[in-house]
Structure 1
Amino acid sequence: MSNGYADLGNGKVYYEIEGKGETLVLIHAGFVDSGMWDGQWQALTRYWRVLRFDMRGFGKSDPSTGPVSRRHDLYRLLKELGIGNAHLLGCSIGGETAIDFTLEHPEMVLSLTVVSGIPGGFEMRGEPPSEILEMLQALEEGDLDRVNDLQVRLWVDGPFRQPEDVSQSVRQHAAEMNRTAVRNGTWAIADASPLNPPNPPAAVRLAEINIPVLIIAGSLDNPELLRAADFLADGINGAKKVIMPDSAHVPNMEKPEEFNKIVLDFLNRA
């Protein structure tokens, strides 16, 4: 395995690469870091040259000092590492990033896998989860432990389970990763008002994607995330959709063996 830091000009990003063959890029969710792919690493690097990295503000990468463009950071990283094209697999904000990157640089993307992702411009319906409002209040009060706990409840547990219903090791791992992002204030600084969002947004451009696409969602995630999965599958010609049972926003962490099989089957066909 090779690892190091890539200087993107506005901060250094930590990355790891292992394996041979075509490149597969793993893009993590917005409350964890590249460690969310620990359960996939050995299975995927057996067949692919896999790159995973910590986005700015997460994990071992530099903190964000202002709004960022995640798709532009991904482009700079791939150019810095000399990667001309790759398969993309992103979760949550990582999935949104992968979609935006695919639309902006279609010649660089061999296939696209979106996990628990929402395309830019997709309008959520109904009231936001109660945890969102509680998190904003906890942020104002500087109660970072409370923010971290609410993030885990929102994304790992989901709206239909209590903490005791979920693997404690998964919850603990997510909380450890999220602690860095909470301490860095990453969401408020970097992602609440992202830099140069695509215009028009991805939600109205999905028909332009003409590569193999896999959409994955957890059955116990917020229903609006499942509606987003339907929206993506309906909007992208030939896209395959898989709903993983008994999991929420990070199904790869909860059910790694099942997730790995789904992804490997798709990539082998792609």
Structure 2
Amino acid sequence: MSTRHSVAVDRGALAAETDGDPQRPALLLLHAGIATRRMWDPLIPALAERFFVIRYDTRGFGESTSQAVEFSNRADAIAVLDAVGVASATLIGASRGGTIALDTALEHPSRVRALVLIGSGPGGWDGAIDPAEEAMLDAADAAEEAGEWDRLFELELELWNIGPRRSRDDVDPAFLETARALGRSNRAAFEAQGQCIPVPLDPPAIGRLTEVAVPALVLAGEHDLSFVHDQQRLLAEHLPDVTAARIEAAAHLPSVERPDAVLEVLLSWLAEHAG
């Protein structure tokens, strides 16, 4: 059974929970921007059998709260580890959660044992984006700026969970309902967050990948956006100790869409690198 925590941070509180034995090696899970900590639900039973599993809603998402303030996502991640008494952990991040994980490893290397980056890229990346994908991203950005939340969540569903090279008929309807619910569960936080502004790592991770001193696993879904695959290749080329894998028949949230396939790769890698 999960234990819930409220972690105090500067002018905010992070909703967190833990599973498993605190005496075991720790995993800190960081969710994607189209989800909350609930995206990890399908993986928790298997992970908690072997690890102490920590997850939380980042500031401005899910059940976490924040006043208008500049803040560091890296400092928030460390605050969560401190709150549950963990000196170091393997950080597992999806999408923006992976960017936060990588940044945290660079800023706080003594607190990170290993990295798992799922559908993620380094901060400061400015590579080319397919024009059709860019148009979809621009439409989602416009909906967010206008506060058109229902439109935003449907656009994000099409873009990230179906993907630009699949149709709805190609995707399990039950997964789409779960993905839709994950996105919509951020609505209250989006409406209430005001101007909580994350301060980026400086200098950014894009030019510092060779500084990462821990093993890394980089994963991407087969049907994710093309620039995400470009980012995965970049990470695989420049991180010093890296394993790369592709999750078939999944888009941007493989831990939700194909949890068994993710666990098959993840548990094997963690057994070697996260002990």
TM-score with structure 2 length normalisation? 0.91
Q: How many percent identity over aligned positions?
A: 30
2:11 counterpart residue number: 10
Bigger mean CA deviation after superposition, 139-148 or 92-101: 139-148
Pairing 1:25–2:28 present: yes
Aligned match of 1:162 in 163, 167, 176? 167
Counterpart of 1:113 (choices 116, 123, 128) is 116
Cα distance in structure 2, aligned partners of 1:62 and 1:142: 18
Q: Which moved more, 1:25-34 or 1:79-88?
A: 79-88
Amino acid of the structure 2 residue aligned with 1:32: A
Give the whole-Å Cα distance in 1 for the aligned partners of 2:153 and 2:66: 17
C-alpha contact 1:155 1:249 (8 A) present in aligned 2: yes
> After TM superposition, what 4+ stretches of structure 1 lie above 4 angstroms from structure 2?
186-191
CA shift at 1:16, angstroms?
1.0
Q: Specify the alignment match of 1:131 in structure 2.
A: 136
Tell whether 2:42 aligns with 1:36: no
Question: Which 5+ residue runs of structure 1 have no aligned equivalent?
Answer: none
Higher alpha-carbon deviation: 69-78 or 44-53: 69-78
Deviations 1:85-138 (A, max 9, x none): 011100000000000000111111111100001101111303353222222333
SS at match of 1:185: helix
1:4 Cα deviation after fit: 2.0
For 1:26, the aligned partner's letter is L
Distance 1:124 1:186, change over 3 A: farther
Letter in 1 for 2:90: H
Per the alignment, residue 222 of structure 1 pairs with 225
- Kindly indicate whether the alpha-carbon contact (under 8 Å) linking 1:25 and 1:86 is maintained by their aligned counterparts in 2: yes
Contact 2:66 2:193 in 1 (8 A): no
CA gap of 1:65–1:169, structure 2 versus 1, over 3 A, is: farther
Number of aligned residue pairs: 268
CA contact (8 A) 1:102 1:108 kept: yes
Within a 5 Å distance, the mapping from 1:4-153 to structure 2 comes to: 4-20=5-21, 21-63=24-66, 65-126=68-129, 127=131, 128-153=133-158
Structure 1 pair 190/215, CA: closer, same or farther in 2 (3 Å)?
Answer: farther
Pairing partner for 1:233 from 231, 236, 239:
236
Decide whether the 8 Å contact of 1:5 with 1:13 is kept in 2.
Answer: yes
Taking the aligned partners of 1:181 and 1:74, their CA distance within structure 2 comes to 19
| One-letter identity of the residue aligned with 1:61 | S
Contact kept in structure 2, 1:26 and 1:88, CA below 8 Å: yes
Matches of 1:217 and 1:206, distance apart in 2: 18
| Higher mean C-alpha displacement, 179-188 vs 212-221 | 179-188
Change in CA separation of 1:187 and 1:171 when aligned onto 2, cut-off 3 Å: farther
Deviation at 1:183, TM superposition (A): 4.1
Contact persistence 2:68–2:193 (CA under 8 A) = no
Deviations 1:31-72 (A, max 9, x none): 110110011000100100100111122222115634442112
Runs of at least 5 residues in structure 2 that lack an aligned partner in the other structure: none
Deviation at 1:147, TM superposition (A): 0.8
Partner in structure 2 of residue 194 of structure 1: 198
Q: Distance in 1 between matches of 2:192 and 2:214?
A: 31
What is the TM-score normalised by the length of structure 1? 0.92
> Counterpart of 2:224 in 1: which secondary structure?
coil
Question: Could you list the per-position Cα deviations for residues 172-222 of structure 1 after superposition, in whole angstroms to 9, with x for gaps in the alignment?
Answer: 22222212324433799568x632x11211011111112111000011111
- Which amino acid counterpart does residue 259 of structure 1 have in structure 2? V
Pair 1:125–1:236, CA change in 2 (3 A):
same
Contact 2:60 2:193 in 1 (8 A): no
Instruction: Report the alpha carbon displacement of residue 23 of structure 1 after superposing the two structures with TM.
Output: 0.6
Kindly state the Cα deviation for residue 141 of structure 1 after the two structures are TM-superposed: 4.6
Higher mean Cα deviation, 91-100 or 168-177?
168-177
In structure 2, do the counterparts of structure 1 residues 125 and 9 end up closer, same or farther at CA, with 3 Å as the change threshold?
Answer: same
Shift of residue 140, structure 1, vs aligned partner: 4.9
Q: Hey, what's the Cα distance between the residues in 2 that align with 1:186 and 1:117?
A: 25
Secondary structure in structure 2 of the residue aligned to 1:103: helix
